[in-house]
A = this chain, B = another copy of it.
Amino acid sequence: MNKYFEEALAMQPELVARRRDIHKHPETGFTEFRTASMIIKELQALGYEVSYGDDCVVESEMFGVPGQAVLENHMQRAIAEGADPELVAKMAGGKTGVMGVMHFAKPGKTVAFRYDMDCNDVVECSEEHHRPFAEGFASTHKGEMHACGHDGHVTIGLATAKLIAVHKDEMAGTVKIIFQPAEEGVRGARAMAMKGLVDDVDFMFGGHLGFKATLDNILICACGGLLATTKLDAHFTGVSAHAGAAPEEGKNALLAAAQAAVSLHSISRHGQGASRINVGVLNAGTGRNVLPNVADMKLETRGANTQINDFMSSEANRMLKAAADLYNVEVKITPAGSAPACVTEVDFGQEIAEIAKAAFEYDDVIDTMDFGGSEDCSYFMETVQLKGGHAAYMCYGTQIAAGHHNDHFDFNEEVLWKAAAMCATLAEVYTNK
C-alpha cells in the first residue's frame, strides 16, 4: 500500500459523508447546479485554477438540454439546498461542467482525469433492505436517483484532487480534473471536448465503479470496446382524420413510425464489425378511433468503430425520412447524444496494471476487458489519442446491490478511497513521465 492508499484510507469517513450528501441530492443531466457549485468551491479551496460555465463548454454542442422552466426550477432548488447563487447564475443554461487545473513546479506531462456528475431518472427504492433508505441518505428528489454511481465518481474526483494537491511537490507538469455533466444519454462530453479542454493532454484517465468490475478489491485498467453511438429523437407529424368516415383525409404518423421501427432494424449488418440499432421508445396516436397524426420515437445506433456507427446513423436518418415519405408525413430528427468509439491501448493497460500492482495489493488486476456499452468519456479519450497521447478507461471494483440504473442500486463504499488513491498514483507516475 503506497502513501496515496494510506492517506486515502484515512480520508474514508469524509468520503463516505460526501458521497451520501450527493446521493441525497441527485441532479439529472445539465442540472447539476448544487453538485457543480460544491465542486468549484472545493477545488478552489485546494488551490486549483477552476473554470466553469461558458469557459468549459461549446454551448451549441450540448445534447438534450432540458427546457428553460426545468433549468430554472432546478437552479432554485440547488440554491435552496445550499448552492452558491453566484456560481449557479454562471452555470445558467445547463453549463454545469467544471475543470480544475494545477501546474506544478517541475516540468512534466499533462495528465487529465474525468468524472461524471449526473444522476438517473429513477424513483429510488424505499424499502428497509435498501441501505440508502435504511440509513437516511436516499434521494430527496423524487424521480431522481444516483443509480449509476456518479455520486461515487464525484467523491473520488474530489479526493483525487486533494491527494494531488497535498502531494504537489511530487507532481510535475500539469494535472487537469474534469467534472462532466449529462453522461447519461452520452450528452455532455462532446461539448466539453470541443472546447479544447484536453487538447494539450498527454495521458487521460476515465473510469467507472462497478460495471465490469463487480468484485471488491479488483481493478480493470483499460476497458476496450466502448461502442461508438448516436442517439436520435424522431418526431413524426401527420394529419388526423375520422377513422370511420374519411380515413383517406388523414396522414398516418403512427404507421410511418411503425414502419420506420421495423425498417430500421433491417439495416444491413456490417462486414467490418459489430453494429447495433435500437428503437427503444415509440409513442403514437391520440385515440382509438382517430387516424393518428403524431408519433415520437427514441432510438440509438452503435458501432464497433466510429465508421460503422456513422454507417448505421446515416442509414437511420435516411430511413426515418423515407418512412415519413411512405405515409406522406413530416419527420423532425433531433440528435440527442453521441459518443465515438475509442481504441483500446493494450500496452497502456499493461503498464497501468504494473503500476497498480506495485501500489496496492489488489485481489486481481486485469489489463484490458471488453466494456460492451457506450460512454461519452470516449470524446476526451479520442481527442487525446488522435494527438498522440494515451487514454484508458478503468473499472474500479466494487460489489453492487443491484444492476446499474436499478432502483435498488448501491455499492460498497470501500471503492472510494482505493479509486482515489489509484488516480493520485497515476498522476504522480504520468506527470513525471
Interface size on A, as a range, is 35 or more
**Chain B residues near A250 (CB, 8 Å)?**
268
Residue of B nearest to A229 (CB): B244
Q: Interface readout for A213-238 with B: 1 if CB under 8 Å, 0 if not?
A: 00000000000000101010000000
A289 at the interface (CB under 8 A from B): yes
A252 at the interface (CB under 8 A from B): yes
A302 at the interface (CB under 8 A from B): yes
Q: Interface readout for A279-313 with B: 1 if CB under 8 Å, 0 if not?
A: 11111111111111001001110100000000100
- Cα distance A243–B270 in the bound complex, in angstroms: 10
Task: Give the contacts of A261-280 with B (CB-CB under 8 A).
Answer: 261-263, 265-266, 268-272, 274-280
| Among listed A65-73, A91-99, A317-325, A382-390, interface-contacting one | A317-325
Q: Are B325 and A318 in touch, CB under 8 angstroms?
A: yes
Q: Are B266 and A248 in touch, CB under 8 angstroms?
A: no
A335 at the interface (CB under 8 A from B): no
Residue of B nearest to A315 (CB): B328
Given A242-B373, A255-B266, A323-B326, check contact A288 B298 (CB 8 Å): yes
Overall SS of chain A's interface: mixed
Instruction: Choose one: B288, B325, B372; the contact of A244 (CB below 8 Å).
Output: B372
**Chain B residues near A275 (CB, 8 Å)?**
269
**Chain B residues near A321 (CB, 8 Å)?**
325
Q: How many copies does the complex hold?
A: 4
Q: Are A287 and B283 in touch, CB under 8 angstroms?
A: no
- Write the nearest CB–CB distance from A255 to chain B, whole angstroms: 6
A355 at the interface (CB under 8 A from B): no
A254 at the interface (CB under 8 A from B): yes
Instruction: Choose one: B247, B282, B291; the contact of A284 (CB below 8 Å).
Output: B282
A245 at the interface (CB under 8 A from B): yes
- Cα distance A212–B254 in the bound complex, in angstroms: 28
- Write the nearest CB–CB distance from A319 to chain B, whole angstroms: 6
Q: Are B262 and A266 in touch, CB under 8 angstroms?
A: yes
Q: Are B244 and A302 in touch, CB under 8 angstroms?
A: yes
Q: Are B258 and A262 in touch, CB under 8 angstroms?
A: yes
- Cα distance A336–B288 in the bound complex, in angstroms: 10
Q: Can you name 22 A-B residue pairings with CB atoms under 8 Å?
A: A227-B244, A243-B280, A243-B300, A244-B271, A244-B278, A244-B372, A245-B271, A247-B268, A247-B269, A248-B311, A255-B261, A258-B258, A258-B259, A271-B372, A278-B289, A279-B285, A280-B286, A280-B289, A283-B284, A285-B298, A288-B336, A318-B326
Q: A229-B244, A258-B259 are in contact. List 16 more A-B contacts (CB 8 A).
A: A242-B373, A243-B300, A243-B302, A244-B278, A244-B374, A248-B270, A255-B261, A258-B261, A262-B266, A269-B269, A269-B277, A278-B288, A281-B286, A281-B288, A288-B336, A322-B322
